Chain A
Amino acid sequence: MPPWPFVIAAYVVTLAGGGALALASYLAMRHAEK
C-alpha cells in the first residue's frame, strides 16, 4: 500500500479543517463587530 496518498490526505484534512475553522471564526467576528 503506497504511503504517500495517506500522508497527503491527512495533511489536506488537517489544513482544510483548520482553515475552515479559522475562516468561519473570522467571518463571525467581523460580522459581530461591524
Chain B
Amino acid sequence: MPTLHALANPARFLKIARPLTPVLFWLGVLLIGAGCVAGLTMTPPDYLQGETVRILYIHVPAAWLGMGGWSGIAISSIALLVWRHPLASIAARAIAPAGAAFAAICLATGSIWGRPTWGTWWQWDGRLTSMLLLFFVYCGYMALARADADRGGDGRIPAIYGIAGTVLLPIIRYSVVWWNTLHQGASIGLTRSSIDSTILWPLPIMLVGFTLFFAAVVLMRMRALLGQAKAEARLRRMARA
C-alpha cells in the first residue's frame, strides 16, 4: 500500500512510467516472438488435436489477460472508492480497451480452434457465452467511463460498475465445472497440468510476454489520459483568463 500511495502523484508516476514503458514493451515483444517460434516449430503435435494445439499458446494468454484486465479494473475501482487514489480511475480507463481487445482475441482464437476440433465456429455453452458477456461488459464499461469523464464525473459510477462486473470472473472460471459444456475442463492449474511438458513449455514464455506487453499498453494509455487531462486543464485555465 505505501507503494500505491507513493505513485498517487501523477508527476512521480510519469517519472517511473516513461522509462518503464519501452522496457516492458520490447521485453514483451521479444518473449512473444520467442514463444511464437517455439510454439510453431519446436513442439510436437498433440496425439488427439494434432497441429491445432498450437493455438493454445495464444488463446490461453488472451483469456488470462481478458480476465486479468477486469481484475485490474476491479482493484483500481476499489482503490478509487476506498482510498480516493487519484490515478485509480485513469488506470481502470486505460486497462479497459486492452482487456476488451484480449477478450475479443480469446473469442476469435477459440472460434478458429473450435472449427477443426469441434466442427463448429461457435457454441452457446457456458464458457464461450460467459466470455462473450465479459467482452460486452468491457464495452459497457468503456462507454460509461467515457460518459462519466465527459460530464466531469468523479469516476464513482464506473467504479461501482467495475466492481459489480467481477461477478463474471468466477462464472467464467467455473463454467466448465458447473455446466456440461463443449469446452474442455481446466487442463492447467497452479501446481499441475494434464498437458505434457513437451507441449506445455512455450506457454509460460507466452504468458509472461503477453503480460509485459499488456502492462506496456496500459502504461501508454495511462500516459495518454494524463496528457489529455493536463491539456484540458490548461484550456480551462486559458478560458478563465
Say which residue of B25, B36, B40, B101 sits within 8 Å of A17 (CB atoms). B101
Interface string of B139-175 (1 = CB under 8 A from A): 0000000000000000000000000000000000000
Interface size class of B (residues with CB under 8 A): 35 or more
Cα distance, A22 to B219, chains bound together (Å) = 11
Q: A25 touching B51 by the CB < 8 A rule?
A: no
Q: Given the known inter-chain contacts A32-B224, A32-B228, please indicate yes or no for A10 contacting B59, CB distance below 8 A.
A: yes
| Mask of B45-83 contacts with A, CB within 8 angstroms, 1/0 | 000001110110011001000000000000000000000
Residues of A within 8 A of B36 (CB): 11, 15
- Residue in chain A with minimal CB distance to B228: A32
Q: How far is the CB of B197 from chain A (nearest CB, A)?
A: 21
B40 touches A29 (CB 8 A): no
Q: Indicate if B132 sits at the interface (CB-CB under 8 A).
A: no
Q: Is residue B27 contacting chain A, with contact meaning CB distance below 8 A? A: no
**B220 on the interface (CB 8 Å rule)?**
yes
* Complex interface bits, B221-237 against A, C-beta within 8 A gives 1, otherwise 0: 10111111001000000
Q: Tell me the smallest distance from the CB of A16 to a CB of chain B, in Å.
A: 9
Give min CB distance, B25 to chain A, whole Å. Answer: 7
Q: Is B208 an interface residue (CB 8 A)?
A: no
When distances are taken between beta carbons in the complex, the residues of chain B under 8 Å from A28 are: 220-221, 224
9 CB < 8 A contacts A-B = A3-B51, A3-B116, A7-B54, A13-B105, A13-B109, A17-B108, A18-B213, A32-B224, A33-B224
Interface residues of A (CB under 8 A from B): 1, 3-4, 6-7, 9-11, 13-15, 17-18, 21-22, 25-26, 28-29, 31-33
Binding site for A on B (CB under 8 A): 25, 32, 36, 40, 50-52, 54-55, 58-59, 62, 97-98, 101, 104-105, 108-109, 112-113, 115-116, 210, 213, 216-217, 220-221, 223-228, 231
Known: A10-B113, A17-B108, A25-B97. 5 other contacts (CB 8 A): A7-B54, A11-B36, A13-B112, A15-B36, A29-B221
